[in-house]
Structure 1
Amino acid sequence: MLFTNNYFFTLSSCSSLSTGGRCKTNRTSMLGQQADRVMALGEWEERWQQDRIGFHQPEVHKMLENNIDKVLNGRTGVCFFFPLCGKAVDMKWLADLGHSVVGVEISEKAIQQFFEENNMTYSEEPVPAIPGAKVYKNSEKNISLYQCNLFTFSSSIEGQFGAIWDRGSLVAINPGDREKYADLIISLMAKDCRYLLDTLLYNPDLYQGIFLYCVSSLFLLLRIIMAEHFCTQS
């Protein structure tokens, strides 16, 4: 677990999927294999339509459960942001604890399934600031889920957040978009924000799944940018 000012990162254990499970593959070459890989938004929507969503977890994520006290840091009524939220059950769990939730997801089916599978009513309305976008809301639980391209979302829509739970979002972002992603995440952070990041390390020679390899230098870059941002704001 690494701390930088008010932000902290929890990295999942190394999983190279190689013989013996040891991380012994050259990381630079691993990144090179995927540097130009691009998954279009339509591919994600297609996965949801075809129920090819092995990345979805039906239970609250253990990393979130185990670190919730650190994320909250004594605060109540925290507004959480979920990038690429899918239909994560973590959102209802946090709402049941009295927190508010804002998520962004490209798949309309995922958002609708979230509310329906949790027996929650919801309203649907357009988002004038984002052409073509819609927001689905449950006012009782204070959950708002935006159906749009993540990069069209900004702090002008819902302000900044006291916490961000990044469960597999960074690793799903195309490598060429990760610096832009870091900029977006930073812009959404309030001064007391806590950012919990779940990521993975694997050998793309042996695993050809949808999540893209994250090399450690990307985390370093993200940490440096965040530290500099915090210093300029304090």
Structure 2
Amino acid sequence: MDDIRTSLEKEYPDAEIQKNQVLTLQDWQDKWVNHNISFHQEEGDPLLKKHLDTFLSGGNGLRVFFPLCGKAVEMRWFADLGHSVVGVEISELGIREFFTDQNLSYSEEPVTEIPGAKVFKSSSGNISLYCCSIFDLPRANIGLFDRIWDRGALVAINPCDQQRYADIMLSLTRKGFRYFLSVLSYDPTKHLGPPFYFTHADIEKLFGKLST
């Protein structure tokens, strides 16, 4: 991995107050049902816009992974540039809203390796969104990726599951991949999360030498 970029404003020495905070998959599904999705960015992420050329680094036909994708408009950006997009999202409603909002036709089929899971594919074939838990996804053998865009994913993972999440992300990467990670730094005593608080040390602990 060439780099991991982090959006950190300042760091606080300790975030132990957050370590036992847990949201269930049902909690996240309920957010979509109740339209409590303030994490969604209608115009896309400005940080990605700013660094898009560096992130892509002139690559053509890249495979780009979106963990906890929701209905991120950036998925359409990459598809329109000729790249192949794969995402995972627990909310079927969120996935359907993506295709509706982007006026894209799609098909759906079961994922045989994961009971109850589905994959939604654009008619063009370059967007595939899996409806399942991120922790079940490796069983679907989705292949390896050249790029990972992680905004709102790692910061939404329960602290007790963050190392397992990081291990899965790194297991999905090809040689020479780029992982663009956007996290938050704030006073964790003022907000229990998610989004959860991260320091540079936290990132290094999760991703090791690849975080430099």
- Shorter-chain TM-score: which interval? over 0.9
Q: Secondary structure at the match of 1:150?
A: coil
Structure 1 segments of 4+ aligned residues over 2 angstroms from their partners: 204-210
Letter in 2 for 1:191: K
Letter in 1 for 2:142: E
Aligned partner of 1:12 in structure 2 is 7
Aligned length: 211
Deviations 1:142-193 (A, max 9, x none): 1000000000011752200000000021111011111101110010001121
Instruction: Choose the corresponding residue for 1:102, options 86, 95, 114.
Output: 86
Q: Distance in 1 between matches of 2:46 and 2:36?
A: 22
Q: Provide closer, same or farther for how the CA distance between residues 156 and 127 of structure 1 changes in structure 2, counting only shifts above 3 A.
A: closer
Q: Secondary structure at the match of 2:164?
A: helix
Q: Distance in 2 between matches of 1:155 and 1:74?
A: 31
Aligned partner of 1:216 in structure 2 is 200
Q: Distance in 1 between matches of 2:139 and 2:209?
A: 18
**Post-superposition shift, 1:209?**
4.7
Structure 2 residue runs of 5 or longer lacking an equivalent are: none
Q: Distance in 2 between matches of 1:210 and 1:223?
A: 20
| Aligned residues: CA RMSD | 1.7
Deviations 1:5-50 (A, max 9, x none): x331221141xxxxxxxx474x22xx11011111101000000000
**Post-superposition shift, 1:210?**
2.6
Of residues 57-66 and 182-191 in structure 1, the stretch that sits farther from structure 2 once superposed is: 57-66
Deviations 1:187-225 (A, max 9, x none): 000112110000110113323553112233221123426
Q: Distance in 1 between matches of 2:11 and 2:113?
A: 47
Q: Distance in 2 between matches of 1:207 and 1:93?
A: 32
Structure 1 or 2, whichever has the larger Rg, is 1
Is residue 156–residue 195 contact of structure 2 (8 Å, CA) maintained in 1?
Answer: yes
Structure 2 length-normalised TM: 0.93
Map 1:132-147 onto structure 2 (within 5 A): 132-140=116-124, 142-147=126-131
Of residues 55-64 and 218-227 in structure 1, the stretch that sits farther from structure 2 once superposed is: 218-227
Is residue 76–residue 99 contact of structure 1 (8 Å, CA) maintained in 2?
Answer: yes
Q: Does 1:64 align with 2:59?
A: no
Is residue 80–residue 165 contact of structure 1 (8 Å, CA) maintained in 2?
Answer: yes
Structure 1 residue runs of 5 or longer lacking an equivalent are: 1-5, 15-22, 228-234
Q: Provide closer, same or farther for how the CA distance between residues 127 and 90 of structure 1 changes in structure 2, counting only shifts above 3 A.
A: same
Letter in 2 for 1:11: T
Q: Percent identity?
A: 45
Map 1:85-100 onto structure 2 (within 5 A): 85-100=69-84
